[in-house]
Chains A and B, each alone.
Chain A
Amino acid sequence: MKRAFPWHIAVFLAPAFLIYTAFSALPLLDTLRLGFFTTHDSGQQTFVGLANYIKLLTDPDWSAAFWNAMSNNFKFFLIVMFVQNPIALLLAALLSMHGVRGAKAYQTLIFLPTLLSVVIIGFIWQLILSPLWGVSEKLLGFVGLADYFHPWLGDEATALITLSLISVWQFVGVPMMLLYASLIAIPDEIIDAARIEGASSWHIFWTIRLPLILPTLGLVTILTFVGNFNAFDLVYAVKGAIAGPNYSTDLLGTFFYRTFFGYQSQIGSPTMGAAVATTMFLIILSGVGVYFYFIQRKLQRFSF
């Protein structure tokens, strides 16, 4: 018997498919194409093959800037990964305990900064950390640590770390909520059974709760990875697109912005920018690919 073509599926998929194709897939393909061209003074573009990529990776100026941005991006990612997510896990675990007073209020407060614009976050933190009128020096003074105060955002050694911690502060609510949701989804029966067997809370957390939320932790990891390799706005808001001091806060995002749009008197090059964007895309793609191949597969086998 011949089955009728499932038209309803096509119809339901159509809106999302069309919108994604028009606004995501096609521009992406066009970016990949544009990376193989070069722009002349007259504005005309001609095909140059891999020349842009070769320039990006072998020209000393371009490659130095590129690898600098790349390594900064890794630092940014690692700091966020190993500061934000453990804190988020801790908060989620604390909030999911029975009988925590004001748990809902804490959740709201911790989640709140996520809703604010990055521009506002950048502005507020710049004020808080300002050596001229910031409150941080005074606050440190109350506990006798005023000597340790430092213009953190203005020093090459500390600017990137400070920015990543600001980012942690802002976005810790997201992984916290995700982890919280999966922690409270664990059936009480399992926990109760363990307790009757004599397991301590500590033991229960490490041997039962944590393994059960591993898929969510994996999801959080990959979201952090994608989010951080696309990061741009915070650095742009606080340090501008030349990511000072001395490019110490330059991320792939700001590097791309300078290349594609230009900055101040630097004239942007859409074709070179497309090459940078494609490289970023490939980095993120391979990161996600590695994750899915090695980690997500195992996690799924583990959890089902």
Chain B
Amino acid sequence: MQGNRFIRTALCAALLAAGAAQAGNLTIESWRTDDKALWEDVLLPAFNKKHPDVKVKFAPTAPTEYDSSLQTRLTGGTAGDLITCRPFDKSLDLFKKGYLENLNGKSGMQNFPESAKVAWETDDGKNAFCMPMGAVMHGFLYNKKIFQELNLQPPKTTAELHKVLEAAKKAGKVPMALGTADQWEANQIVFTSIGAPYWKGEEGRKALIAGKAKFTDPQFVAVWDEMSKWGPYLAKGYSAQTYADTQNLFASGKAAVVPVGSWDISYYNQNAKFEFGAFPPPVPKAGDKCYISDHPDLGMGVNPKSKNKEDAYKFLTWLGSQEFADLYTNKVTGFYSLSNHLISVKDPVAKQMLDWRKSCASTIRLNAQIMNRGEPNMENGLWNVSSQDLNGKMSPKDAAAKIQSDFAKWYKPQQK
């Protein structure tokens, strides 16, 4: 009897101790494994200067496994206190299932413009569930050395782009570094990036959502048409070229141009031995307005089951501060803070890309909002048809027809 009571007391004490150890500790869930060192060496120490009593642990999962393993941990009640949010539907799904706190009116949220918050709000815009953290932009990088040798200028129109590619090809360079083995680039950094000037950014995107435009309309087919002409300018065997191959190819100085997301800047800063510049997606005709894909990519939410919500909100407040915006933009080159604060970007290429916001209209990735929600999934569909289009295996018209029929299958406004 005596022994039993002793064990019970010991167990209680152990449980209490475990509970006590939890107070003041926060864990961040994220898919940005690449940023681990940055969080540990720069961001978290900066936070701890203000809040020395809160211990934060950055615990990322590999990007491809993030969504599924996070879902499992949330269901099982073992997920971290702070949850890095994917934009739009993935996080909205979590919020609907009660796995993210409502952040309406929380301190720090006032520092973000409405446009930045859209990615993490309910459709009616009434409830916000993640604080915006970072955006990425899409465009092209070019090898300045090759451009100088061949006396080329960064192209402004599609026709000029073709001239540049043709000149590079004649000179025996790989005109453009791009592969289709991994498929996602074909949509995320090609189709929805170079397409924005064709469908006039938000105007075209909203028309699709409203059911007023179809993918089979000329402004969308024209983009696949343009892409279908790129084959001859890509490296030999590009259908088996992975994203890493593409990065290597451009960094090795063999390719003149590469379509990129702004996150690539830091890779090329480290690996390319030459100077490179950036240009926005070319417009169809000279004098057309330019549009860029300027995509909110990361947000931060709070796990409703967190044992330490008070500190989690303290952390969010700090994420909404000028200090964080500055650190994030300048240390995670190529990710841009979404807050209202004035930030001076130090990296020249990152700054160049950010400056496009002044002359070009911003839009998000075409299918990011609402359109990804149904079955068949449009994101996967676009990966597939866009890479087949680049491979020359599917005609622009067929690509458009396929996406349109998949879309109309589940989306009411498109069924008229």
Contacts and interface: CB of A to CB of B under 8 A. Distances in A.
B90 A126 contact: no
Contacts of A151: 236-241
A94 interface: no
B377 interface: yes
A215 to B, nearest CB: 41
Contact of B68 (A41, A239, A240, A262): A262
B393 A246 contact: yes
A151 B409 CA distance: 35
Interface class of chain A by DSSP = loop
A245 B380 CA distance: 12
A143 B257 CA distance: 35
A155 interface: yes
Contacts of B394: 246
Contacts of B362: none
Given A43-B97, A154-B180, A261-B67, A246 B384 contact: yes
B227 to A, nearest CB: 15
B183 A265 contact: no
B202 interface: no
Interface string A261-289: 11111111000000000000000000000
Nearest to B376: A61
A129 interface: yes
A242 B245 contact: no
Nearest to B69: A261
A218 interface: no
Contacts of A126: 242
A31 to B, nearest CB: 15
Given A151-B239, A245-B239, A265 B249 contact: no
Given A43-B97, A245-B387, A266-B379, A130 B183 contact: no
A132 B68 CA distance: 33
Given A43-B97, A245-B393, A132 B245 contact: yes
A132 B384 contact: no
A74 interface: no
Contact of B241 (A131, A239, A263): A131
Interface string A121-136: 0000010011111000
Contacts of A264: 184, 379-380, 383
Interface in A107-155: 126, 129-133, 150-155
A155 B89 CA distance: 32
A264 to B, nearest CB: 5
A129 B377 CA distance: 31
* Residue with the greatest number of chain A CB neighbours at <10 A, chosen from B71, B98, B249: B71
A153 B391 CA distance: 13
Given A240-B182, A242-B384, A245-B391, A154 B379 contact: no
A156 interface: yes
A267 B93 contact: yes
Nearest to A126: B242
A245 B180 contact: yes
Interface in B76-93: 86, 88-90, 93
Interface string B248-281: 1100000000000000000000000000000000
A258 B64 CA distance: 11
Interface of B: 64, 67-68, 71, 86, 88-90, 93, 96-98, 179-184, 235-242, 245, 248-249, 368, 372-373, 375-380, 383-384, 387-388, 391, 393-394, 406, 409
22 contacts: A41-B97, A130-B237, A132-B241, A132-B245, A132-B248, A151-B237, A151-B239, A154-B179, A154-B237, A154-B238, A154-B239, A240-B182, A244-B180, A245-B387, A246-B393, A246-B394, A265-B88, A265-B90, A265-B368, A265-B378, A266-B379, A267-B373
Interface of A: 41-43, 61, 126, 129-133, 150-156, 239-242, 244-247, 258, 261-268
Given A42-B96, A239-B181, A262-B68, 19 more contacts: A41-B93, A42-B98, A129-B240, A132-B241, A132-B245, A132-B249, A133-B248, A151-B239, A154-B180, A154-B240, A240-B64, A240-B182, A242-B384, A245-B388, A261-B67, A261-B68, A265-B88, A265-B90, A268-B71
